[in-house]
Amino acid sequence: MDYEEALEFAERLEAVKELNLKGTPAVKVLAKYVYKHGYKHGEDLNDLIRSLAVSIPRDKESVILAELTPGDRVTSAFLAGKIAPWIRMLREEIFGAPEAPFATIGEADRWLEQEHRRESDIPWLDWKEHEKEYLHIAKAYRKRGFVFPPIDGAQIYTQIYPLLHPKDDDFIKCVPVNPPSGSFLAYHLHHHNYSAPLLWMAAEIEGMAKATGFNQTSLFAYILTGIEPILPRWQLHTKIQVQPLHSGEQLGFVSVNLEIKAKDLSFEELQEVYRHIREQLKVKKTKPLNVNHLALYKMVQEKGGQPRKGTVKFWESVRKELNKHRRPNQRYDTWKGVKITYDRIIDKLETAFAGKGGSRTILEKEARHERPHTQTK
């Protein structure tokens, strides 16, 4: 079975049709897995694609993922098993039973949407006035083996998206104000005990994510549906920040964040990661800027920048001054050589940060589609 056949096979899976996953990164990851490693007869790949669907960003062109390996599945199952007692305890506290409360992702999404609307209307409380809630939460702390410290309180902002369409890597944003030191279970203290289960889960999931490396979206799915998360070997996130200047010019800064979660990453995999990083940063096979470029750039800036008139006189003065500090075989023969070198420096910088040259299209696209995230208190 070649890759194209594996992809066609993956797209015919019941769960792919059920969750409308055709063409998504999750399906492509599964297809590569089947192509490289095959699958045992009778293995339910629908469960695997569901795990990938909640563990992998769905529509993010800026995220590049590692291929799935059998070792990743073993590691993920091991980590999921480690937090399984915690998951069951949390379900019992919130839903009254240790089993997953929902059979499908669709059912879980509907509950998340309804619960988010309901919790948005819960009034803020002064927890110090609610001794009963304090004792209840302190009991939960002791149950988990934690010490419950005195707390000044915390505010929480939530940002909810469906499990398969997270707009951010984190499914829920918890932003504490004066947070308790080393504590995550107390973020919901401004609410009546378990009257805000979504925030209660978000607080505990933060701890689970720190312990396992699973993303928060996949942990929500694990709690609500029983779908076990997958821990990717590595992920590459590309971020493009575009900012117009007062001059009307537009600067765009591209950064790449690499998360390596595998303990056995090979040299070949690191080479692949390096290739992806160069592609995302639009790195070309050019020589890096050196100390001579630095000296030239600083000298031009100190002289007030490149002039519009009297260019020959200007560049000739730069040439003479530079040559005083250079070896005979490194000196400029003409002012044109100096200007050409300076122009190349500026072109290199403009291409990297001002969206000109090869990176122009991606910066303009980012500027058109960039929207601020809305937050609900």
Q: What's the pLDDT score for residue 12? A: 92
Closest to 70 in 3D by CA, of 217, 266, 233, 215:
233
> How far, in Å, CA of 65 to CA of 57, rounded?
9
Summarize the confidence of residues 213-227 as an average pLDDT: 92
* Among the ranges given (72-86, 148-162, 232-246), the one the predictor scored with the smallest mean pLDDT: 148-162
pLDDT tens for each residue of 316-337 = 999 999 999 888 888 999 999 9
The neighbouring-strand residues paired with 367 are: none
d(CA 24, CA 230): 16
pTM: 0.69
> Rounded to the nearest 5°, which phi and psi values hold at 238?
-105, 130
Strand partners, 254: 240
Out of 193-197, 261-265, 363-367, least confident range: 363-367
User: Which stretches of 226-290 are DSSP H helices?
Assistant: 267-280
> In the prediction, which pLDDT does 355 show?
57
Q: How far, in Å, CA of 121 to CA of 98, rounded?
A: 28
Residues 6+ positions from 30 with CB-CB distance below 8 Å: 10, 45, 48, 49, 52, 68
H-helix or E-strand spanning residue 24 = none
Single-letter amino acid, residue 26: A
Half-sphere exposure of 186 (CA within 13 A, CB side): 26
Mean of pLDDT values over 10-23: 90
- Strand 234-244 and strand 63-65: the pairing is antiparallel
pLDDT of the residue at 101: 96
* Listed range (89-93, 137-141, 285-289, 290-294) with the worst mean pLDDT: 137-141
Largest CA distance in the chain: 85
- Residue 303 above 80 pLDDT? yes
pLDDT, residue 84, reads 96
Mean pLDDT of 152-181: 38
Is residue 280 within 8 A of residue 256, CB to CB? The reply is yes
Return d(Cα 54, Cα 35) in angstroms, integer. Answer: 22
The helix or strand, by DSSP H or E, that contains position 236, with its residue range, turns out to be strand 234-244
